Amino acid sequence: LKTIDYFFPLYLYPNTDTQNPGNPKKRSLGAMAMLFEPSGEYTARKPNLNPVIVEQLAMDFGKSPTPEEIFYYIYAILYSNTYRTMYAEFLKIDFPRIPFTKDYGLFRRMAEYGQRLVELHLLNAPELDPPVAKCQGNGDFKVEKPKYFEDEGFVYFNPNQHFEGITKEVWEYQIGGYQVCDKWLKDRKGRTLSLEDIQHYCKIVTSIRKTIEIQKAIDEKGSER
C-alpha cells in the first residue's frame, strides 16, 4: 500500500529490552517506541535532529538550543507567508528547507511565535479564552447550509442561528486547500450541534484569528534580519 504520509517524531526512543531481541513488536519502526506500546522498557531517548545542525546552531548562538526550541522555530518559519510565497514552487515538489538565523535573539523570538502557534492549533492555548466568536439566535442548532455575510461577520448555519465575530480574513483562511470555518460546518450538515461543538467552533475561529496575527508578526520580525 503506497502512502504519502510521513512521520517525523521529535524524539526517538530506542528499544532497551535486551531480554527479547527477537520480538518483532519491539523492533517496529527501526526499534522506535510505538505510540501505544508500553513505555516501561524505553528509558533512553535522543532528539531526532541532525547533530550537525544542532552543533552549528550551538556555535552560532554560544549556547545549545533545546530540541523543542528548534521545533518551535521550524513551525514558525513554515507559517511565514513570506517563506511560503518565496518557495511556493519548490514546496510543491520537495520537503521544505529551513533557513536558520545566526541571531539568537531572532531565533528565540521565532521559537516563541512557533510555540504559540502550536498551542493554538492544539486548541489548548490560554489566549483562546475568551473566544472572539459566539453563537446567536434561537433554534434547534441543526446545521443546514452555511452562508457567510461579510458586512456583519456572521455565518448562518440555519435560517435562525449564526456565529458572529468572523472576519472575512478568518472565513477565507485555508489549510490544505480548504476553508476551515466553512468546511467544518459543511461536514456537519444535518447534524445538531452540541454545546461542546459550538465551543469547539468558537475556539477554531479564535485560533485562526490569532494565527493570522502571529503570521504577520513573524513576517515583520523576519524582515528586520
pLDDT tens for residues 121-177?
999 999 999 999 999 999 999 999 999 999 999 999 999 999 999 999 999 999 988
pLDDT tens for residues 82-135?
999 999 899 888 889 999 999 999 999 999 999 999 999 999 999 999 999 999
Predicted TM-score (pTM) of this structure: 0.83
Please answer whether residues 167 and 153 qualify as being in contact, where contact means their C-beta atoms are separated by less than 8 angstroms: yes
